[in-house]
Amino acid sequence: MRRMRPFAIVAISFAACACQNIERSRAVDNPAVAGKTIAQQVCSNCHGVTGVSVSPMFPKLADQPREYLIDQLTDFKSHHRSDPNARRYMWGFTHLTEAQIEELASYFSAQQSTTGRLGDTALVERGATIFEAGLPDKGVAACGSCHGQHGEGVGQFPRLVGQHADYVVKQLFVFQRTDSRPRGAVMKAIIANMSEEEMRAVAAFLEASPSATYDSPNAARPEGQGQSRK
């Protein structure tokens, strides 16, 4: 037998370590499979095992409000959410049960969120102003009035702080220019007059903003951790 090359041994060892704590199933379309297993075995391919995606094509799910995640998974399952990536990546999940959807939402909402990268300083500062005060002359409300003072997400409104800037901009375009998100009527009205530059500024600010996980209302706190707010 040919000897295995050192780099191959290292690769196999790394893969084994990466998967050793993941609950696995050969039939993720089985209603008896736990949501956590689906999250770790299927959703992780795009969103990461802990909901912190690497590619901006896929949103970070960690620490998102449970209610928001349930709404979105329900809309994917029913095909009511029909933006291009929803069709491409999520429309196949028609087999999810209500229990699995709730378990998926609970799993990701309990994960620790992360901060994104710092972009252009001037753009970030411009975005901070829009996030905090809106654009009164254009009828654009402050983002924090729905998404929380720090963008941490509230109920059916998603967490925005730390999210990939490219993903935020893409979704703002979807809200403004299409009707493919069934719960998007409010957003469509609010951002109707926003320019692309203003969208990119807000997105840059959100990606660069600090992410204090244990101050979030969406994440479970470890024992002994205080209940202070940001």
What pLDDT was estimated at residue 68?
Answer: 98
118 confidence band (pLDDT: 50, 70, 90): confident
95 is in an annotated binding site: no
140: tokens are: 């654009």
pLDDT digit string, tens, across residues 74-115: 999 999 999 999 999 999 999 999 999 999 999 999 999 987
147 is in an annotated binding site: yes
164 is in an annotated binding site: no
pLDDT digit string, tens, across residues 18-47: 334 455 555 777 899 999 999 999 999 999
**12-109 matches 121-215 in fold:** yes
Q: What is the DSSP string of 9-27?
A: HHHHHHHHHHHTT----S-
- Distance in angstroms (rounded) separating the CA atoms of residues 157 and 4: 51
90 is in an annotated binding site: yes
73: tokens are: 């998974």
134-167 burial string, b = 16+ CB within 10 Å, else e? bbeeeebebbbebbbebbbbbeebbbbbbbbbeb
Q: CATH top-level class for 12-109?
A: mainly alpha
SS3 223: coil
Long-range contacts of 31-38 (CB under 8 A, 24+ apart): 31/95, 31/97, 31/99, 31/100, 33/100, 34/100, 34/103, 35/99, 35/100, 35/101, 35/102, 35/103, 35/104, 35/105, 35/106, 35/107, 36/103, 36/107, 38/96, 38/100, 38/103, 38/104
SS3 127: helix
pLDDT digit string, tens, across residues 202-222: 999 999 987 544 345 565 433
CA-based radius of gyration for the chain: 19
Give the DSSP H/E element, type plus range, for residue 134: none
- Distance in angstroms (rounded) separating the CA atoms of residues 74 and 86: 12
146 is in an annotated binding site: yes
46 is in an annotated binding site: yes
Per-domain residue ranges of the chain:
12-109, 121-215
19 is in an annotated binding site: no
Q: What is the DSSP string of 101-114?
A: HHHHHHHHHTSPP-
Query: Running DSSP on this structure, what letter comes out for residue 161?
Result: T
Please give the model's pTM, rounded to 2 decimal places.
0.81
43 is in an annotated binding site: yes
Q: Answer yes or no: CATH 1.10.760.10 is held by domain 121-215.
A: yes
